[in-house]
Amino acid sequence: MDLKKIDAPLSTTTYNRNKVDAPTENIYEAISIISKRAEQINSEIKKELIEKLEEFATYNDSLEEIFENKEQIEVSKFYEKLPKPHALAVKEWLDGKVYHRNTEEKQD
């Protein structure tokens, strides 16, 4: 996931309900799919953040010394400014980038 090219809104946005539930024709199913995708995005971002912070980690045995690592602070600030996972998931959903299928439908 390329986080620099994401154009999802940073703040709360009102969406047209008909556009949100158009692919499934059921608003609850659409919201369920979007929430599952938001959880996936959140775990991807968290994993990526932890990996980047580990690169700059300094380990010491002394609890009295606290080091400010400027690289870690910059990485953290970048991730704090990103759109929230639910905003990313809704954007992907409305753009038709989320694959979904109904497992209850009979397959011939």
Q: Is residue 4 part of a domain?
A: no
Q: Once rounded to an integer, what is the mean pLDDT over residues 69-98?
A: 88
Q: Is residue 2 part of a domain?
A: no
Q: Is residue 65 part of a domain?
A: yes
Q: Is residue 90 part of a domain?
A: yes
- Closest C-alpha to 81, from 10, 31, 24, 26: 10
Q: Is residue 103 part of a domain?
A: no
Q: Which long-range contacts (CB under 8 A, 24 or more apart) does 1-4 make?
A: 1/41, 1/44, 1/45, 1/48, 3/45, 3/48, 3/82
Number of domains in the chain: 1
Q: Is residue 89 part of a domain?
A: yes
Q: Once rounded to an integer, what is the mean pLDDT over residues 28-55?
A: 92
The answer for residues whose C-beta is within 8 angstroms of residue 90's C-beta and 6 or more apart is 8, 15, 20, 34
Q: Once rounded to an integer, what is the mean pLDDT over residues 56-63?
A: 65
Q: Is residue 84 part of a domain?
A: yes
**Quick one: pLDDT band at residue 19, thresholds 50, 70, 90?**
very high
Q: Is residue 78 part of a domain?
A: yes
Domain limits at 41? 16-94
pTM of the predicted model as reported, rounded to 2 decimal places? 0.78
